[in-house]
Structure 1
Amino acid sequence: MIFAVWVPLLMPLLAVPAARRLAESLPPRAAAWLLTGCAAVLAACTAAALGLLAVAGALRLPPVAAFGHLQRGLPGTDAVVTVPAAPIAGALLACGAIALARGALRHRAELRAARRTADGHALAGDLCVLPDTQPDAYALPGRPGRVVVTAGMLRALPSAEREALFAHERAHLAGRHHLFLLTVALAAAWHPLLRALRAPLAYALERWADEAAAARVGDRQLTARAIGRAALATRTHPAGPPRPGPALAATTGPVPRRVAALLSPEPPAARPRSRSVPGAHRLIAAALLACVAFSAAGAVDAAADLHQNVETAQGEHPGR
């Protein structure tokens, strides 16, 4: 356990850069799933490692050992490490749990407040029009989801571009993209390095919605113009009411890069695999898979080792 338990805590040092690099070579939808999945697995392994460290150190305390019916001390030579590391791991575990709960509650409160505001204005199907003069539009998740747009944004775009913008926001709602961002935000509560996955994930989600909108309206150039004009309108007018945290909007992120991608001759998913995933990217994918596998294996091995040591200390034959 003395070695395996540290693997999940250190693997994000390698896995996060690899995931960011690999996501750049994948279609937006695949990139979003990759980044979110890596964040969730690495966070779970980190939480497990912290818990194992805390338990291993606590079991060496006489009151805890008596409560666990240990007839003798835990075997092994890792006491010099686990005993001082246990309170630190316990404190980090408590901080992570508190941050996780606060993040989830804040997300829920912001979503409820935003929906109360939206429901108090004019609705046309899933479209909610706010009377604000500042241009803005965003996808407000919920049941049902809403596409919120201000009167200023409606005046800033011609009819065809409005439909492309609405298609973009509806793609966010259909894909439940806010849950991807929430997963990575909560994962970062367990390991601070996972915060570095949020920016590439937000870009992948916007590109996912861009491509969905372009397919919906059947015109990539129109979609690019709509996103560019909407982003320009929001930047050339005074800031309006604050946008809800869980909301996603077409005007966020590196808009010029997204517009350039939409103006490319073909969508990323249609490009030949040999160009989109060259040999170097395959090596990165293999390295990332190895990092995630080692992280999970380290947590499982440490848990099995601790369980065997507890059985030995209880006077039971290991494996029985």
Structure 2
Amino acid sequence: MVLASCSTAVLGLLALTGALHLAPFAALENLSPHWLGDHTWLTLPAAWPATALLAFGTVKTVSLTIRTWRELRTAWSTAGGPESAGGLSVSPDSHPYAYALPGRRGSPGRIVVSAAMLRALDPREREALFAHERAHLTGRHHLFLGVAHLAATLHPVLRGLREPLAYALERWADEAAATAVGDRRPAARAIGRAALAAHQHNRRDADHPRTVLTATSGPVPLRVSALLQSPSGTGPSGRRSRCVIAVALLVCLAATTDSAMHAADDLPTTVEIAQSDTASY
């Protein structure tokens, strides 16, 4: 999100710098484009695509926000029926699905599950499924996924991070479910049978908002395989590798942030100099 914000800020600075080289916009700040430096040959060609990208990102962000709000509002209205109690909402739908619906206005959220999904699982597997979805709620995983969607909208190169993040969040909830039921095998069976039941209906996951996670999303075979294996801690070499990667990412983010802040600080200074030189002239 820091990278996406910095790239968006840089696009805005490029667009603003190009606008100030145009006489109508320069007149609003009482300066002459001549005093901004003779870089029109470079500034204007860079400003036009920056303006287009900034406008496109703004439209996409507004569209994503409106769409997400509508999907959540629809889910909230349908999940509060008479069969909803104790943080659990059961739908009479014949299509198997289950997802964790985040709360609003301070409410903790609830687990939404269809009757068909409950029929597909035995009691122990239902317990594991509920523990999985409850982990999504307590971990507020929808915020992670929402930030990833927003960052990818602002910076399209970051789209490749959404699927790995969703998989990591599902694995987080899988391990929480295995811990809650005290056995990894029922948790693995619950994930596998839930995914198989949903797949047999040959329907896309359209029963839930796109910014929430379901127990049947992602590469289910990999998740089941990980649950069937004994948990193993990360060795010293693995921890060192993760530390090196984390430090490298932090250095890149710090350099990106510093560049954006330097550019943001340099433009007002240039404008002030141009204004004072124009007044002196």
Structure 1 gaps, min length 5: 1-39
Cα distance in 1 for partners of 2:82, 2:193 equals 25
Specify whether residues 241 and 132 from structure 1 end up closer, same or farther in structure 2 by C-alpha distance, changes over 3 A only. Answer: farther
Cα distance in 1 for partners of 2:265, 2:40 equals 17
Aligned counterpart, 1:309: 270
TM superposition shift of 1:77: 4.6
Q: Secondary structure at the match of 2:111?
A: strand
Q: Is the 8 A contact 1:165 1:250 kept in 2?
A: yes
Aligned counterpart, 2:56: 95
TM superposition shift of 1:275: 4.4
**TM-score computed with the length of structure 2 as normaliser:** 0.90
Alignment partner of 1:216 out of 156, 160, 180: 180
Deviations 1:194-223 (A, max 9, x none): 111110111011011112222222222221
Question: Is residue 2:163 matched to residue 1:202?
Answer: no
TM superposition shift of 1:283: 3.8
Question: Is residue 2:245 matched to residue 1:288?
Answer: no
Q: Is the 8 A contact 1:161 1:223 kept in 2?
A: yes
TM superposition shift of 1:48: 0.5
Aligned counterpart, 2:223: 258
AA aligned to 2:64 is G
Aligned counterpart, 1:27: none
Question: Is residue 2:152 matched to residue 1:188?
Answer: yes
Cα distance in 2 for partners of 1:58, 1:134 equals 54
Aligned pairs, number? 273
AA aligned to 2:154 is W
TM superposition shift of 1:47: 0.7
Aligned counterpart, 2:34: 73
Specify whether residues 61 and 284 from structure 1 end up closer, same or farther in structure 2 by C-alpha distance, changes over 3 A only. Answer: same
Q: Is the 8 A contact 1:72 1:314 kept in 2?
A: no
Cα distance in 2 for partners of 1:240, 1:202 equals 17
Specify whether residues 96 and 283 from structure 1 end up closer, same or farther in structure 2 by C-alpha distance, changes over 3 A only. Answer: same
Q: Is the 8 A contact 2:151 2:158 kept in 1?
A: yes
Greater shift after overlay, 192-201 or 112-121?
112-121
TM superposition shift of 1:247: 3.0
Cα distance in 2 for partners of 1:308, 1:240 equals 53
Matched ranges for 1:13-162 at <5 A: 40-70=1-31, 73-143=34-104, 144=107, 145-162=109-126
**TM-score computed with the length of structure 1 as normaliser:** 0.79
Cα distance in 2 for partners of 1:77, 1:264 equals 65
Aligned counterpart, 1:163: 127
Deviations 1:163-194 (A, max 9, x none): 11001111111122112111111112222111
AA aligned to 1:70 is L
RMSD: 2.0
Q: Secondary structure at the match of 2:276?
A: coil
Cα distance in 1 for partners of 2:134, 2:113 equals 12
Specify whether residues 297 and 307 from structure 1 end up closer, same or farther in structure 2 by C-alpha distance, changes over 3 A only. Answer: same
Matched ranges for 1:224-235 at <5 A: 224-235=188-199
Q: Secondary structure at the match of 1:129?
A: strand
Q: Is the 8 A contact 2:23 2:33 kept in 1?
A: no
Cα distance in 1 for partners of 2:204, 2:251 equals 46
Cα distance in 2 for partners of 1:63, 1:235 equals 59
Deviations 1:258-309 (A, max 9, x none): 1222222225xxx145143344x44433332222122111111211221221
Structure 2 gaps, min length 5: none
Q: Is the 8 A contact 1:60 1:74 kept in 2?
A: no
